[in-house]
Amino acid sequence: MGTSMRAALAFAGGSGQLADIDSSARPELPIKKNGKAKKPKQLQDELTGAAERIAEVQEALWAEASGGSKRSLLLVLQGIDTAGKGGTIEHVVSACGPIGVEYTAFKRPTKTELRYDFLWRIRRKLPPPGVVGIFDRSHYEDVLVARVHDLVPSDVLDARYDSINAFERELVDAGTTVLKCLLHISYDTQRERLLSRLEDPRKHWKFKVADLDERARWADYQAAFQAMLAKCDTDVAPWFVVPADSKAYRNWAVGELLRETLETMSPQYPPGDLDVPALVKRLAPPH
Amino acid sequence: MGTSMRAALAFAGGSGQLADIDSSARPELPIKKNGKAKKPKQLQDELTGAAERIAEVQEALWAEASGGSKRSLLLVLQGIDTAGKGGTIEHVVSACGPIGVEYTAFKRPTKTELRYDFLWRIRRKLPPPGVVGIFDRSHYEDVLVARVHDLVPSDVLDARYDSINAFERELVDAGTTVLKCLLHISYDTQRERLLSRLEDPRKHWKFKVADLDERARWADYQAAFQAMLAKCDTDVAPWFVVPADSKAYRNWAVGELLRETLETMSPQYPPGDLDVPALVKRLAPPH
């Protein structure tokens, strides 16, 4: 029940500068018998093992809530376009659920959503007790795309960081463990992935010409990520930065973060108060 | 792209009597090289293969909707307590998603839900375009538990069957394919499964003493299932009865029904209108 991946990828563990984090690094890779670190492609078995453990603990969390526990887990995934939020979810999260798991992708806000405070639509999708909630993008878009595109005045933007910190503290106080992961890729990796989408007609539906306009704002996005990490990496809801140039490493690392976090929560099956012998007797076949 | 499982398990294909369907039967089992049918325990490979295909077609359905298609799939699972709705979902559905898959378990209606028509809470959980919706229990509870426990006057109950048929026709007309599966087990199988829950402390949280009171109404539930099948097995939304005494057969059979249904829908990736050479040029690395 170690927490070595959490320690290795905690934003607070570094210099506090996203630019100092190597997106091709692979901290905590398991060691092979010959003493060398496993290559990312050799991580599939480890990921499968972690996935089974995640499914096991997730079921216990779901069961625990039936006994009255208010605990839940919220996994927040952020990352620039092509960083691999969808792929991570497909490979890591699909190991458990769908019972007790709720997935929400936050797209561009609708007209209705824009009439409310930015946290309104987020609150409606929070995981209830026992549930693992997965946010594919989140309230952080409101300090990322909103900052890059100057969607709100700077004083409104500044206030949002404080609102987010207060919101997450409220969640944690209410029993939700918050696991925030930024998938971190390089400018070159994004280029390769956009090219590969263009080369595969089955991926054209995911491609928007506007994606290239966003790519032109790369430096602005990095600055927005840096501000988000610096301002919202709190004790109660810390940020983890996952080097994500390697898909295999990224999937394995998020799996480990999720496994460690669930194991630290250590959910317990509710104590039974059944009169088992009497119930078994009632089930005896008729003579 | 056969539909042999749909043909084999269609309620309309039999005598029209649930009591005539053997819950331990295993129609359409694949044949081994020696000419014998595979045993249920040998079906795991087939289920894995079907799951990969399900995931592939489900992704195409999700992609198709981004091009404006309104099509979706609704899988309705019904069955008496311990019939294996949760286990089926865990083994079959978890192969795809969570992106583009929405799972809803309908519990005893809340006070708020009871203030509305019985279809109100159902409509709120219908799958949007591109999504595979999974209903773990459904609007059919309102003609099952409601009938067994006389929760509504008989004229209200009778009207519900017609309401359900009209509702499902509306769904189909709007682009939703409806796949309804009744997991069918024997009285003895339920006894074995309740006993096994009692023997495993990790399953006690699932056990309610009231489950035994419901078991005492076995014949009433069978009559309610028979009425549901007879009245709501329509051309647009037929019922399938899955023999479910064997968990391995049940998982495999539902997987096949889902695979056949998705393949018959044959979702298509939206045609791309991208100027690929121009976009590739924009992505060329700076000199």
- Mean pLDDT computed over A170-183: 98
Residues 6+ apart with CB under 8 A from A196: A203
Q: Which two tokens stand for residue A181?
A: 């992961």
Q: Which two tokens stand for residue B162?
A: 């017609």
Residue A2 has pLDDT above 90, yes or no: no
Suggest the residue from B59, B205, B211, B258 to mutate for an interface test with chain A (most A CBs closer than 10 A): B205
**Closest to A209 measured CA to CA, from B132, B61, B276:** B276
A56 to chain B, closest Cα gap in Å? 11
Q: CA B237, B238, B241 angle in degrees (round to 5)? A: 140
Q: Tens digit of pLDDT for each residue in A72-129?
A: 999 999 999 999 999 999 888 877 878 899 999 999 999 999 999 999 999 999 999 9
Q: To which H or E segment does residue A254 belong?
A: helix A247-265
Do B27 and B232 touch, CB atoms closer than 8 A? no
The per-residue pLDDT for A177 is 98
Residues 6+ apart with CB under 8 A from B249: B26, B29, B40, B43, B243
Q: Could you give the CA distance from residue B100 to residue B143 in angstroms, rounded to a whole number?
A: 29
Residue A41 has pLDDT above 80, yes or no: no
- A-chain residues within 8 Å CB-CB of B212? 279, 282-283
Question: Which residues of chain B, if any, have pLDDT below 70?
Answer: 1, 286-287
| Pick from A94, A96, A194: CB nearest B283 | A194
Q: Tens digit of pLDDT for each residue in A216-275?
A: 999 999 999 999 999 999 999 999 999 999 999 999 999 999 999 999 999 999 987 899
Q: Which two tokens stand for residue A18?
A: 């996203």
Do A267 and A63 touch, CB atoms closer than 8 A? yes
- A-chain residues within 8 Å CB-CB of B67? 205
For chain A, the distance separating the N- and C-terminal CA atoms, rounded to the nearest angstrom, is 51
| Pick from B205, B209, B285: CB nearest A66 | B205
| Pick from B63, B98, B212: CB nearest A89 | B98
Task: Determine the angle formed by the axes of helices B187-199 and A276-283, rounding to 10 degrees.
Answer: 170
Q: Which two tokens stand for residue A278?
A: 């009497």
Residues 6+ apart with CB under 8 A from B56: none
The per-residue pLDDT for A1 is 53
- A-chain residues within 8 Å CB-CB of B103? 97-99, 101
Q: Could you give the CA distance from residue B144 to residue B134 in angstroms, rounded to a whole number?
A: 19
Query: Is 0.80 surpassed by the pTM of this model?
Result: yes
| Nearest-by-CA chain A residue for B188 | A285
Task: Tell me whether residues A212 and B274 touch, CB distance under 8 A.
Answer: no
The DSSP line for B256-282 is HHHHHHHHHH---PPPP---HHHHHHH
- B-chain residues within 8 Å CB-CB of A129? none
Q: Which two tokens stand for residue A70?
A: 């208010």
Long-range CB pairs of A35-43, under 8 A, 24+ apart, other chains included: A40/A246, A40/A247, A40/A248, A40/A249, A40/A252, A41/A248, A43/A248, A43/A249, A43/A251, A43/A252
Task: Tell me whether residues A269 and B204 touch, CB distance under 8 A.
Answer: yes
Going B61 to B66 to B67 to B68, the CA torsion angle's sign is positive
The SS3 assignment for B128 reads coil
The DSSP line for A124-138 is TTPPPTT-EEEEES-
With a pLDDT cut of 70, the percent of chain A lying above it is 99
| Pick from B63, B86, B97: CB nearest A205 | B63
For chain A, which residues lie within 8 Å of any Cβ of chain B, measuring from their own Cβ? 63, 66-67, 86, 89-90, 93-99, 101, 103, 105, 134, 136, 188, 191, 194-195, 198, 201-202, 204-207, 209, 212, 269-270, 272, 274, 276, 279-280, 282-283, 285
Number of H helices, E strands in chain B: 12, 5
- Residues written for chain B: 287
The per-residue pLDDT for B258 is 96
Suggest the residue from A56, A85, A94 to mutate for an interface test with chain B (most B CBs closer than 10 A): A94
B213: exposed, middle or buried (Cβ count in 10 Å: 0-12, 13-18, 19+)? exposed
A205 to chain B, closest Cα gap in Å? 6
**Closest to A176 measured CA to CA, from A130, A107, A220:** A130
**Closest to B232 measured CA to CA, from B21, B5, B76:** B76
B171 to chain A, closest Cα gap in Å? 24
| Nearest-by-CA chain B residue for A93 | B98
Task: Tell me whether residues B205 and A67 touch, CB distance under 8 A.
Answer: yes
- B-chain residues within 8 Å CB-CB of A282? 212
Q: Which two tokens stand for residue B67?
A: 């091009």
| Pick from A89, A96, A276: CB nearest B99 | A89
| Pick from A98, A105, A269: CB nearest B94 | A98
The per-residue pLDDT for A287 is 59
- A-chain residues within 8 Å CB-CB of B194? 283
Residues 6+ apart with CB under 8 A from B194: A283, B82, B207, B211, B212, B215
Task: Tell me whether residues A204 and B66 touch, CB distance under 8 A.
Answer: no
- A-chain residues within 8 Å CB-CB of B105? 99
Mean pLDDT of chain A: 93
Q: Could you give the CA distance from residue A50 to residue A91 in angstroms, rounded to a whole number?
A: 11
Do A18 and A241 touch, CB atoms closer than 8 A? yes
Interface predicted TM-score of the whole assembly (ipTM), two decimals: 0.88
The per-residue pLDDT for A284 is 81
Q: Could you give the CA distance from residue B8 to residue B96 in angstroms, rounded to a whole number?
A: 25
Dihedral angle at the C-alpha atoms of A183, A187, A188, A192, nearest 10 degrees?
70
Amino acid at A127: P
Give every strand in the sheet of A101-105, ordered side by side: A101-105, A132-136, A72-79, A176-184, A239-243
Count of CA atoms in the C-beta half-sphere (13 A) of B231: 19
| Nearest-by-CA chain B residue for A286 | B188
